[in-house]
Chains A and B, each alone.
Chain A
Amino acid sequence: MSRDRYLFGGLILAFVALNGVLLGSGRLPVNWTGFGIIVAAGLTLLLYSFLYKDNPLFKFAEHIYVGTAAAYVFGQYWFGGLFGMVIEPVFMKEDIQAYDKWLLLIPTLLGALMLTRFSRRWAWVSRISFAFYVGVGAGLTIPRYISSFVLQQIEPTLRPLSLTMEGFDVLVILVGVVSVLVYFFFSVEHTGVVGGVSKVGIYFLMVAFGASFGYTIMARLSLLIGRVSFLLEEWLRIPLTL
């Protein structure tokens, strides 16, 4: 335990010293922008300390993140949501008809009733809000999903076949879609012909999952590249070539 304490203590001192050098040499500006870069770099390194092992410094940075994130999103829901859609039009705008203003109070009431969920005695009142919310969501979903995800996806699957490369691709797509659908159809036992088709579906799924894996690795590495280039270019002021 004391070895880790010396290690982390030493790293913190090195971080402070390095920032002193960067500020003193003028590489980082002595203003809120420079201070912001130092804070950002510090939090990044604290969070990366988890790679060594879970430690109090990581947990400290993690909880700063939790609090700040929750509050930032709260701010957006306030400015864009409650203030922008209810308080400003109802109480602060004069060019809106009284009828329209009063109409806005209905969803406001429904939204406020949602919060009764936390009261044991009045929780049943929140059911009205949730019923409206979920009911509207379900109703809006059905026709749009049928149109966009079923009909408009089936049509391009059933294109004419031909003895060309495009025709071969169309055949592979048709076989792939049908076999994957058969694989996910669990009401029929996967034996015989159904089992054979389902096996083909598994191979298509393996290709898709392999492709997803490759893309996921690419995505995660891109995030790391972003952070490292911030540390090198914006914090340490090492110019990176394009």
Chain B
Amino acid sequence: MIERLMNLDRRIIFLFVFAGVAVPLLMDFSFPIKPTDNVRAVYQQIEHVAAQKDGKVLISFSYGGGAAAELQPMARALLRHLFAREVEIVAISLWPDAVGLAQAALKGMADEAGRKYGTDYALMGFKPGNSVVILGMGQDFRGTFPTDNFGASTDTLAVTANVQSLADFDFVIDLAAGESIDHFWIPYGQERFKFPLAGGCTAVMAPDLFPFIQSGQLIGMIGGLAGAAEYETLIGHADKATSGMRPQSVTHIIIIAFIVLANVTFFLSRRRSANTTSHQDLA
């Protein structure tokens, strides 16, 4: 029995994981979501920007389809908040595969809030180079993005007409699946121009950003789908991230149970082989 448990067919584990995801999605229950300080800091900074006249936020989309399940709900929650508070949004992409996702999120949330392209928000598109794009924007935003993603001149868009450099933004948020927050935005942008910077990242990246929060280089962080759910709670609008917390909770319990089972069988098996060895020694 112990040997069978230790060598359990992995497809049984797959089935449990799939059931742990699918079944809670179809059910109706919830656990209260308590926002953490790091997520609250991002929310409060946007409220602070909204309280100023003509607040402007730069959102950098640095993720692709592989992280869309975590970061697209986060993007939607942030955009919903920004549009509701009438903050102007300029969006760029440091990843080539982020442009389509940025476009979908911006259009969806703008249509919901009745916001107009060019006046309330703009998508500048993708430029290659990562760190040098930030460096270029830091000095000369129009030189780096002379047109938006669809060919309109930066000078003709109301939302970018007065933007000369990164210093003209009241808040910068990077939604990142890779290392763009800590390896590009902090050393090449925030370090020089000292704008408030926050990161929205995948849960894989989140542990790496804590040193920058403690040092004040990041004012806050939204980590993973759980972070997105916390943000949805703060803005009072439950969406995909909140509904994702049901299967997330259940599958975490399932995986913890499997890990505990694995360790129990491991120790039982070790004790059994120790007993077998001592019996053989006595014989």
Contact = CB atoms under 8 A, between A and B. Distances in A.
- Determine whether A and B are in direct contact in the complex, meaning some CB atoms lie less than 8 angstroms apart: yes
Interface residues of B, number: 58
Contacts of B14: 51
Interface stretch (B38-46, B162-170, B218-226, B264-272): B218-226
A87 to B, nearest CB: 13
Interface in A190-242: 208, 211-212, 215-219, 221-229, 232, 238, 240-242
B229 to A, nearest CB: 10
A186 to B, nearest CB: 23
B207 interface: yes
Majority DSSP secondary structure for residues of B touching A: helix
A149 B187 contact: yes
Contacts of B239: 242
A51 B25 contact: no
Interface centre among B132, B149, B190, B240 (most CB of A within 10 A): B240
B203 A218 contact: yes
B215 A80 contact: no
A76 B126 contact: yes
Contact of B225 (A85, A89, A217, A218): A218
Nearest to B132: A140
B96 A73 contact: yes
Interface stretch (B81-89, B105-113, B114-122, B241-249): B241-249
A219 B25 contact: no
Contacts of A137: 131
A135 interface: no
Contact of B99 (A76, A208, A223, A241): A76
Contacts of B137: none
A215 B223 contact: yes
Contacts of A152: 191, 215, 217
Contact of A223 (B66, B147, B149): B66
Nearest to A159: B214
A236 B190 CA distance: 45
A229 B240 CA distance: 9
Interface centre among B66, B188, B239 (most CB of A within 10 A): B188
Contact of A77 (B17, B128, B211, B223): B128
A27 B70 CA distance: 27
A72 B96 CA distance: 8
Contacts of B217: 148, 152
B69 interface: yes
Interface string B5-31: 000000100100110011001111000
Interface in B229-280: 238-240, 242-244, 247-248, 251-252, 255
B75 interface: no
Interface string B189-204: 0110000000000111
Interface string A70-101: 00110011011100110011000000000000
A148 B186 contact: yes
Contacts of A217: 252, 255
Nearest to A144: B187
B125 interface: yes
A80 B255 contact: no
B203 A222 contact: yes
Contacts of A52: 11
9 contacts: A76-B126, A89-B146, A140-B188, A148-B190, A215-B203, A218-B252, A219-B204, A222-B70, A226-B70
Given A141-B187, A217-B255, 20 more contacts: A79-B125, A80-B96, A140-B188, A144-B191, A148-B186, A215-B207, A216-B204, A221-B248, A221-B251, A222-B225, A224-B69, A225-B247, A226-B70, A228-B25, A229-B240, A229-B243, A232-B22, A232-B26, A240-B25, A240-B26
